[in-house]
Structure 1
């Protein structure tokens, strides 16, 4: 039966196509499989976008460190420019993670409540999971907050990258110019070294506080719900 014929027949019987499929086990299983493959594809696409952003952040760190330590006359503030670049990628990735989380959450809901129960019956899936999934499809929404996504990406990747840059910058303004006081070496275009160090310390203190923040959103871990 064609799609038009199915819709016409459904209208005559006073039932929607969706209701008829829900009452037909074989049609429901086929639809669930196709839907699951579609959600997996979307989640994989957004996962690749996350990885691409992280890869570019790693490339920036490697390039900045290579250039900054290739000679004694390299300005130390190039590393701080790298910090700005990596932070920009962090903000971009937090937004991308929010999109990815929406698709991943639907995939996990199907895996946990449908496929897990099919493979290992008797574990009492969430009785309302179908209704919840239906509402998500009717009214799509990003559920994880920007703050939660930011916390997650800092813990997974970006705290380590920013820490490497911080340690490299500290070494660059101390070990590479032992004949000068760090206050003089850390200065930038007339800005006193103390002020530069103060800004860097405050920035990294904020980063550490955000990373260790105990108030986490619900689905900030890859294999959580």
Structure 2
């Protein structure tokens, strides 16, 4: 049997979307439920943030170990640094996948912050999204990923992995040039029967691809990211 009251619910109605104002005026059952839900979302955000940090920690540990071994002796092969590039790239892929999951819960927390708690603190500003309750309800019913894998890759590259992979590239370039001054660096770059020029072309193409992924202009869907000018806006508002 269909509940006729459900047809009358309009999440965009002023009294429905701005329940933050009602939370300030009086204690409501829905307000209590949303407070508990918000704490739960923050806990999930913190858990996935820790998982991101753990992946980064492992990547840095592997990087340090490979650099130490590669330069511990002139007889150690240079391609161990290229193996390090592959391993760190695998960590990049793992962290990008975890970032997508992390953003699911962060987006919910931001939706509550923007439309519920901000409205409770200053009802005169209204809400950021008129149908935020409907959006949150849909996401609870059918959780969906908010950012693409490529956007997640770009985020993690810009924040962490371009620096790590850049260190490996610089170490590899130093290893095949200055670390072996008596040999032609192209010959030194060779791996087994693969000529050095082929290895150099592949490595350079790989890093150009990384730069393209990191800085290619695209619409950003991740919520909660700090953007350029946010600090200036805060100062202007505070004045």
TM-score by length of 2: 0.82
Pair 103,223 (structure 1): closer, same or farther in 2 beyond 3 Å: farther
- The reply to whether residue 39 of structure 1 matches residue 8 of structure 2 is no
**1:194 is matched with which residue: 194, 197, 211?**
197
Q: Cα offset for 1:48?
A: 0.6
- The reply to whether residue 76 of structure 1 matches residue 105 of structure 2 is no
Instruction: Specify the SS of the correspondent of 2:28.
Output: helix
1:182-206 deviation digits (Å, cap 9, x = unpaired): 1211111121111111110111110
- Cα distance in 2 between the residues matched to 1:106 and 1:79: 40
Q: Cα offset for 1:92?
A: 0.6
Gaps of 5+ in 1: 1-10
- Cα distance in 1 between the residues matched to 2:223 and 2:131: 22
CA contact (8 A) 2:66 2:80 kept: yes
Gaps of 5+ in 2: 10-15, 20-25, 228-239
Q: CA RMSD in A?
A: 2.2
Instruction: Specify the SS of the correspondent of 1:122.
Output: helix
Q: After TM superposition, what 4+ stretches of structure 1 lie above 4 angstroms from structure 2?
A: 13-16, 22-25
1:14-57 deviation digits (Å, cap 9, x = unpaired): 979xx9xx999521111011100111111111111011101111
CA contact (8 A) 1:117 1:123 kept: yes
Q: Cα offset for 1:111?
A: 0.7
Q: Cα offset for 1:220?
A: 6.6
Counterpart position of 1:134: 137
Aligned residues: 209
- Cα distance in 2 between the residues matched to 1:63 and 1:220: 35
CA contact (8 A) 1:145 1:217 kept: no
Q: Which moved more, 1:78-87 or 1:128-137?
A: 128-137
Counterpart position of 2:104: 102
**1:65 is matched with which residue: 56, 64, 67?**
67
Counterpart position of 2:32: 30
TM-score by length of 1: 0.87
1:124-143 deviation digits (Å, cap 9, x = unpaired): 10221111111111111112
